Chains A and B, each alone.
Chain A
Amino acid sequence: MKYAMLIHEKPGYIQALAEDEQKAVFAEYMALSEDPRARGGAQLQPIETATTVRVQGGQTLTTDGPYADTKEAFGGYYVFEADDLDEAIELAARIPAARLGGAIEVRPLVER
């Protein structure tokens, strides 16, 4: 099954680390990207760059900022191929944001 790992992170959590720790965290993200089970993923620019778009009655309404006004922000995602939810949870637990004040939402993809 394919699982999306939606990374909700504490804004600025990497900058808050010492330089060598930052390097270690990047290396962990790289290792996950290069895992043979990885099927894709992306890192988003910080929330300051977010624009939210709604269409109401045919009118496009554009606002500055992210959609959800929460402490954590959606910062990126992975897609992994895993046998079952237990394997997916283990992969999610390896994403550094999960132990650095953030959380990972694991959702299976619709298979077509």
Chain B
Amino acid sequence: MLASLVGFLGDFDLAEEAAQEAFAVAAERWPRDGVPANPGAWLTVTARNRAIDRIRRERTLAEKARQLEVPETTMDELDDTVIEDERLELIFTCCHPALALEAQVGLTLRALGGLTTEEIARAFLVSEEAMKRRLSRAKAKIKATGIPFAVPAEHLLPDRVDAVLAVVYLIYNEGYSDPSTRIDLAGEAIRLGRVLAALMPDEPEVHGLLALMQIQHARREARFSGDELVLLEDQDQSLWDAEEIAAGRIALERALALRGRGPYVLQAAISSLQAEERIDWIEVAALYGQLAQITHSPVVELNRAVAVAQAGATEQALEIVERLDLDDYQYLQSTRGELLRRLGRTVEARAAYELALKLASSEPERRFLARRIADL
């Protein structure tokens, strides 16, 4: 509803106010007169009409005149009125790269997720006042700079879809890395992912991201034991949500059928393999290889090395690790330690683990590494 109002009015604040007014009218009338046959359309039309009234009252602003040329929809015409779904336009506006990333995230959760400003503030650990300021600055910029309320032109679309997916994945990761008492951001991101998949059914990376989030999310109950992080290989698979994994795999198949081989599709495919009872590490390593070619990320190369080692080629894995320029990365050192240990090079393994211990940032990780060193 908000999407169609923003599209119609070309103004975020006006749309939000009009929506609130429409809900207020409904709260007063529906109990008295009964709920209308098409409540969604009723609310949208009521909100539009309220907004038009308001614009008329404030007609000092000549630029708004064009909106007045639209005839009011009367309640009698309601059944024939098709309320256009403009959520796609809205999400491209919210995730416009000219806006600060945290504002893109906030606007997306507010406008498409339907979260309140207070909820978003709580989720990102800032005060409600600060979040309110951040959102109104962004809305002011949208208006003042002419950020379009439109699906971008064909030649701009790939970059802009990437920007939208990055926002959704950021929301997901925010929830994934800290699944505590805050708002369920991971669940919210998956809901957004489903909306996107419905609105952009031909974009493989959209389905890839949805698949990735669903398959990872399915393992959330198994990722922690108390406060301790549980590694994939030690997770209790009975805690995995089989239904959600299946849903993720359907999205993945869709992405593959669309010939998607982008970073989200590849990561989803890796996650899917890792959700098998017996993991095909050779295939996982091959997929990490493809992902490394696209992203040129040394962290992805490190993951490839781990997969190569799991597939049995410890020496080869160590060679990959030694080539990487990531000396100050804790997981490089702990991986090196593990590989050296497997090769029986205990002295070097200890040195690597001790480096990792020095770099470790969290208490559970330090305890884990200290145990490894003691076991050598």
Q: Contact: B144 with A108, CB < 8 Å?
A: yes
- Taking the closest CB of chain B, its distance from the CB of A34, in whole angstroms, is 23
B contact residues around A88 at 8 Å (CB): 146
Nearest B residue (CB) for A84 = B148
Nearest B residue (CB) for A2 = B146
Q: Contact: A86 with B144, CB < 8 Å?
A: no
A89 and B155 CA atoms in complex are apart in Å by: 13
Q: Is the interface of B mostly helix, strand, loop or mixed?
A: loop
**Most chain A CB neighbours (cut-off 10 Å) among B98, B144, B146:** B146
Q: Contact: A86 with B156, CB < 8 Å?
A: yes
Q: Contact: B144 with A84, CB < 8 Å?
A: no
Q: What 0/1 readout, one digit per residue, does chain B (203-241) give for beta carbons within 8 Å of chain A? A: 000000000000000000000000000000000000000
- Taking the closest CB of chain A, its distance from the CB of B158, in whole angstroms, is 14
A53 contacts chain B at the CB level, 8 A cutoff: no
A85 contacts chain B at the CB level, 8 A cutoff: yes
A1 contacts chain B at the CB level, 8 A cutoff: yes
Q: What 0/1 readout, one digit per residue, does chain A (81-112) give for beta carbons within 8 Å of chain B? A: 01111101110000000000000001110000
Q: Contact: A86 with B145, CB < 8 Å?
A: no
A69 and B46 CA atoms in complex are apart in Å by: 55
A contact residues around B146 at 8 Å (CB): 1, 3, 82-85, 88, 108
- Taking the closest CB of chain B, its distance from the CB of A85, in whole angstroms, is 5
A contact residues around B96 at 8 Å (CB): 85
B148 touches which of A86, A107, A108 (Cβ 8 Å): A86
B contact residues around A85 at 8 Å (CB): 96, 98, 145-148
B153 contacts chain A at the CB level, 8 A cutoff: yes
A contact residues around B289 at 8 Å (CB): none
B residues neighboring A (CB under 8 Å): 96, 98, 144-148, 150, 152-153, 156
A residues neighboring B (CB under 8 Å): 1, 3, 82-86, 88-90, 106-108
The 6 tightest CB contacts between A and B, nearest first, are A84-B148, A84-B146, A1-B146, A85-B147, A85-B146, A85-B145
